[in-house]
């Protein structure tokens, strides 16, 4: 769990200079004094796509995909909507994630497994605290219930590494790394279904290179999910769920 975050997550919150004022990386700079500067990569990309449509070179579905990459344009959002059927929505503080339009602006190619190091209630409280500066997309309870706190569209500050935050979905598990009893059968099963669905949705390979523990994220000092997390069992469940999903 990202209980104490480094300057990396503060940088997530602030963004690169090109991210400020709601501009995604690479957007054209329209700030005072920017006259004469070269247009950003995305501005050129969108401009080129629009021109190509005029000559029937770019297909309609490609233009539709690129439209959501225009600076300031966001996909429609429904308050309280969840990405995983059966999950319950409980919103995290907006200070603990960055709004985005994934996977159109950032590709998603990882699932990061965490342990809360506390109760479900304490994790929810932390993720709703704007001063915490960290939160994951999901929490899986010991009894198997799944809570979603951040949309998969958005960049959650969960990994302590900006690049990994931008390209991953974070799943917390209620319990403690040094207590094997924390990891119940129903927790394993329902978490595996969730991970399998995320992998299916974004075309993520179901292997240990792409489903990783927080401990495997570069530049962090976390040890979760710890030695009692049964990776062989978990990955077997994920693969089985992935094969059976339609």
pLDDT tens digits for range 116-173? 999 999 999 999 999 999 999 999 999 999 999 999 999 999 999 999 999 999 999 9
Identify the sign of the CA torsion 149, 152, 157, 159: positive
Closest CA to 43 of 55, 60, 25: 25
DSSP 223: -
Closest CA to 227 of 155, 176, 152: 176
Domains of the chain: 7-13+76-244 (3.40.80.10), 28-67 (no CATH)
Evaluate if residue 66 carries a pLDDT over 60. Answer: no
How many whole angstroms separate alpha carbon 99 and alpha carbon 133? Answer: 14
State the average pLDDT over residues 97-110: 96
Neighbours of 209 (CB within 10 A): 10
* DSSP character string of 93-152: PGGGEE---TTTSS---EEEE---SB-HHHHHHHHT-TTT----SEEE-TTS-EEE-S-T
Closest CA to 235 of 184, 199, 182, 181: 199
3-state DSSP assignment of residue 175 = strand
Evaluate if residue 60 carries a pLDDT over 90. Answer: no
Residues 152/137, Cβ–Cβ less than 8 Å: yes
pLDDT digit string (tens) for 224-244?
999 999 999 999 999 999 999
Residues 151/83, Cβ–Cβ less than 8 Å: yes
Highest mean pLDDT among 6-20, 52-66, 70-84, 93-107: 93-107
The tokens for 175 are 């319990």
Q: What is the pLDDT of residue 175?
A: 98
DSSP 35: T
Evaluate if residue 95 carries a pLDDT over 50. Answer: yes
State the average pLDDT over residues 85-93: 98
User: Percent of the chain beyond pLDDT 90?
Assistant: 67
Residue 175 bridge partners (DSSP): 118
Rg (the chain; Cα; Å): 19
The kind and range of the H/E element at 211 are strand 211-213
How many whole angstroms separate alpha carbon 187 and alpha carbon 127? Answer: 20
Neighbours of 140 (CB within 10 A): 31
Closest CA to 45 of 18, 20, 71, 74: 71
């Amino acid at each position: 769990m990202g209980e104490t975050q480094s300057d990396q997550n503060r940088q997530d919150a602030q963004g690169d200079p090109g991210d400020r004022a709601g501009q995604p990386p690479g957007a054209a700079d329209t700030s005072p004094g920017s006259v004469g500067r070269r247009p950003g990569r995305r501005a050129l990309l969108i401009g080129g796509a629009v021109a190509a449509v005029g000559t029937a070179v770019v297909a309609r579905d490609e233009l539709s995909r690129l439209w959501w990459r225009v600076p300031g344009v966001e996909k429609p959002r429904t308050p309280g909507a969840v990405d995983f059927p059966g999950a319950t929505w409980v919103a995290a503080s907006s200070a603990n994630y960055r709004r985005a339009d994934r996977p159109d602006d950032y590709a998603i190619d990882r699932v990061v497994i965490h342990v809360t190091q506390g109760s479900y209630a304490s994790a929810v409280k932390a993720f709703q605290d704007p001063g915490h500066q960290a939160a994951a997309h999901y929490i899986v309870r010991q009894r198997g219930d799944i809570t979603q706190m951040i949309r998969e569209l958005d960049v959650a500050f969960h990994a302590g590494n900006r690049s990994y935050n931008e390209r991953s979905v974070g799943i917390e598990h209620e319990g403690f790394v040094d207590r094997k009893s924390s990891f119940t059968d129903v927790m394993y099963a329902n978490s595996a279904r969730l991970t399998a669905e995320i992998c299916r949705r974004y075309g993520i390979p179901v292997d240990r290179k792409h489903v990783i523990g927080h401990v495997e994220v570069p530049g962090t000092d976390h040890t979760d999910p710890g030695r009692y997390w049964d990776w062989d069992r978990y990955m077997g469940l994920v693969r089985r769920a992935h094969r059976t999903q339609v």
